[in-house]
Structure 1
Amino acid sequence: MTAPIISLKNIDVTFTPKGKTIHAVQDVSIDVEKGDIYGIVGYSGAGKSTLVRTVNLLQEPTTGSVTINGETIFKKEARTAAQKITGHELKEKRRKIGMIFQHFNLLNERTVEDNVLFALENSKEKEAVKKGKVAKLLELVDLSDRAKQYPSQLSGGQKQRVAIARALANDPEILISDEATSALDPKTTRQILALLKKLNDEYNLTVLLITHEMDAVKEIADKVAVMQNGRVLEKGSTLDIFTNPQAELTKEFIATATNQDQAIATITASDTIKNLPEGQVFAQLTYSGNSTNEPLITSLYQHFGIVANILYGNVEVLQGTEVGSLLVILSGEQDNFEDALDFLAARSVSVNILKGEQA
């Protein structure tokens, strides 16, 4: 089996400002396979940015090990000295790990072309070769016509495209996107995510996507880890996490990303739900495309006499699989409800009763 391109094992990062101990990252282990888009999601202060800075040792772990492409570049156990690469070896390793950030970090006094060229300052290639490479990178990010302009003349999305071109200048194997879409509007965010997906597809570029927006993870990530207070709450394929979240924070992120929270709040406040008749329940049904080949709503009525009045429906496509959510009012003979719920559970349909006798 091929070794992961990134392997973080038992990573701890502790700070002690003014004698106060802060556990920024606590015992985190993550493996990222080559060609993955791996999302690390959490609110501000979760420790996700500190964690990914250990990948290129911009932040040294307090304890733990960092292995890149099968080579352990850092290892430290409690009460032992750190074993790590330094100097030229570390610099070369960092050249193969590109980074883009929320605030672009462009040089305002340099043109778009020169901002990308800046990443090649230490390259031994001839100037003409470097400029040719820059031209290809600007074409790749659709900015060829902006080469002579300055950052102040660009939109936020265009600035981020320059930052991506610059991050690709040294032909990295890994690209770290640290909240790179947080300062952008929704339309531009989708365009940047689409560009990252294109780079992943066409160049097999491994992407670490650091974000507080599960919507970004939903768009392009293959795998995801959810962080809170320096720890990973859960991790797995994007499909598995979305269809079977375990942690309450994950459920909260997913509800927001799929607009389920807003739909539930709106419908719950309606007179229909406020005045829900006795014997009816308001429920959320969640399922994935491979859960069942049966027409569930029809089957509920045919087998159990349970009528489902659909109030809201949403379908997402994650990793090529449809994932659906329905908000329904279920009504019928109470004696049949338990059998109906067992029927749904047997077909991997999750049922969350929000209001009614079964709640």
Structure 2
Amino acid sequence: MTNPIIALDNINVTFHQKKRTISAVKDVSIHIERGDVFGIVGYSGAGKSTLVRVINLLQEPSSGSVVVNNKTFFQSDNETSKKTRIATKDLRNRRRKIGMIFQHFNLLNERTVTENVAFALLHSKLSPQKRTEKVQELLELVDLSDRAEQYPAQLSGGQKQRVAIARALANDPEILISDEATSALDPKTTNQILSLLKKLNEELGLTIVLITHEMQAVKEIANKVAVMQDGEIIESGSLLEIFAQPTQQLTKEFIETATNIDKAIATISAQPLVKNLADNELFVRLAYVGATTDEPLIAGLFRDFQVTANILYGNVEILQNTPVGSLLVILSGTDDQIKAATSTLADHHVEIEILKGGK
């Protein structure tokens, strides 16, 4: 039996506005293990932020169960409709162990970097000297020691987010919630912030909940993924499972965008070679995982089946130390030859998608 650091079970969040009822989260259950980087991905309005605010009861659910670090924050009884909630003082103390960072940083513009981080220690029992030392350590951790006396207006977006991360770490949290924290940043800065989060996860054992609409961010650092749509979790699993065998169309769209395979297909499909396929040709996408990539399957197609494979595009990602790849290929041969060749590929766990050609 696992002992998740975060256990949300049968969570519902319903808002009542004048004459209409909005179901923002619908019967969602997720368990996050200690040390996970758990990505929750979905488009705007999917319910991601509402769900994650349930973790520290910034948003109280309409029903369900919230258990964080073995402490029940909220519990509802479906039969009696009775709700029990953690005492306010206890919740306030436990929230200090749940750091949060946001898209817009939420820094105090009239305070320096040092003062912004120190603000999180306002109610700390540390001595003034220990607080000063703590802030210095945090700024060093996020590589901002040289910016200690600057103000937010003097910082780049990435530096502001580093200040926000340092502030979120001030009370030594066990959980860090990142709510679209990289959405306002350029790609290079986004990668730097994601690398920092991964470092914090590995060095501090920090459990991270990553809320985002970008599968690329999830792909970079998460080990587990849940996909949300219309308030529901439509698919979840390990990063490798989700990327290798997505079952939902929305998940496939996110993955295609993250791997740029959608752009590659669009670009190559416009080329004369693909637009003018011969009757004995197929334009296909081959997807493969793990050991399959180590076998010379494509090279063996002509030797074994007299099928020519013209590789137009190839991409390999390393996810959780496992290669995951895609090839865009034109296969040439008779119907029987191609059928035998693709059957062998399928036997070797290569997924085949016919993009053009065939009857």
Superposed pair shares fold, TM > 0.5: yes
Q: Deviations over 1:212-266 (max 9, x none)?
A: 0000011000000000000111000001100111000000000000000000001
The answer as to 2:199 corresponding to 1:195 is no
Q: How many aligned positions are there?
A: 358
Greater shift in the superposed pair: 86-95 or 138-147: 86-95
- Identity score, percent: 65
Q: Residues 282 and 354 of structure 2 are in contact (CA less than 8 Å); yes or no, is this contact kept in structure 1?
A: yes
Question: Which digits, 9 at most, give the CA deviation of each residue in 1:37-77, with x for residues without a partner?
Answer: 00000000000010000000000111110111122211113
Q: How does 1:188-267 map to 2 (within 5 A)?
A: 188-267=189-268
Task: Please state whether the residue corresponding to 1:340 is helix, strand or coil.
Answer: helix
Matches within 5 A, 1:16-165: 16-78=16-78, 80-165=81-166
- Which amino acid is 2:54 matched to? T
User: How far did 1:290 drift?
Assistant: 2.6
**Secondary structure of residue in 2 paired with 1:16:** strand
Helix, strand or coil at the partner of 1:290: helix
CA RMSD in angstroms comes to: 1.0
| Per-residue CA distance 1:64-97 (angstroms, 9 max, x = gap) | 1011112221111345121110211001111100
Q: Which residue of 1 aligns with 2:284?
A: 283
Q: Distance in 1 between matches of 2:72 and 2:338?
A: 56
Deviations 1:264-286 (A, max 9, x none): 00111111111111110000001
Secondary structure of the structure 2 residue equivalent to 1:267:
helix
CA distance in 1 between counterparts of 2:131 and 2:255 reads 44
Tell me the amino acid that sits aligned with residue 144 of structure 1: S
Q: Is the 8 A contact 2:293 2:323 kept in 1?
A: no
Tell me how far apart the structure 1 counterparts of residues 315 and 29 of structure 2 sit (CA, whole Å): 34
Structure 2, gaps ≥5 residues long: none
TM-score by length of 2: 0.98
Q: How far is 1:301 from its partner? A: 1.6
Distance 1:170 1:311 in 2: 52
Q: Match of 1:15?
A: 15
* CA distance, structure 2, for counterparts of residue 139 and residue 103 of structure 1: 22
Residue in 2 that maps onto 1:170: 171
User: 1:194 & 1:44 partners in 2: Cα distance?
Assistant: 24
Deviates more, 1:185-194 or 1:80-89: 80-89
**C-alpha distance in structure 1 between counterparts of 2:11 and 2:225, whole Å:** 17
Counterpart of 2:319, as a letter, is L
Cα deviations by residue, 1:303-334 (Å, 9 ceiling, x for unpaired): 21111100001111101111110000001121
Once the two structures are TM-superposed, the CA of residue 197 in structure 1 deviates from its matched residue by: 0.2
TM-score by length of 1: 0.98
Once the two structures are superposed, residues 164-188 of structure 1 have per-residue CA deviations (whole angstroms, 9 ceiling, x without a partner) of 0000000000000000000000000
Gap regions ≥5 residues in structure 1: none
SS in 2 for 1:235: strand
SS at match of 1:21: strand
Q: Which runs of 4+ in 1 moved over 6 A?
A: none
Deviation at 1:292, TM superposition (A): 5.4
**SS at structure 2 position matched to 1:149:** coil
Secondary structure of the 1:239 match is helix
Shift of 1:293: 3.9
Aligned partners of 1:292 and 1:347 also within 8 Å = no
Tell me the distance in 2 between the aligned counterparts of 1:297 and 1:124: 64
Report the Cα offset of residue 339 of structure 1.
2.1
Partners of 1:91 and 1:348 in 2: CA distance: 51
Amino acid at match of 2:106: N
- Taking the aligned partners of 1:85 and 1:351, their CA distance within structure 2 comes to 52
Give the 3-state SS of the residue equivalent to 2:241 in structure 1.
helix
Alpha-carbon contact 1:37-1:222 (below 8 Å) kept:
yes
Match of 1:299 in 2: 300
Does the 8 Å contact 1:156/1:184 carry over to 2? yes
> In structure 2, what is the Cα distance between the partners aligned to 1:132 and 1:292?
50
Hey, what's the Cα distance between the residues in 2 that align with 1:233 and 1:156? Answer: 33
Rounded to whole Å, the distance in 1 between the matches of 2:344 and 2:77 is 51
Secondary structure of the corresponding residue to residue 140 of structure 2:
helix
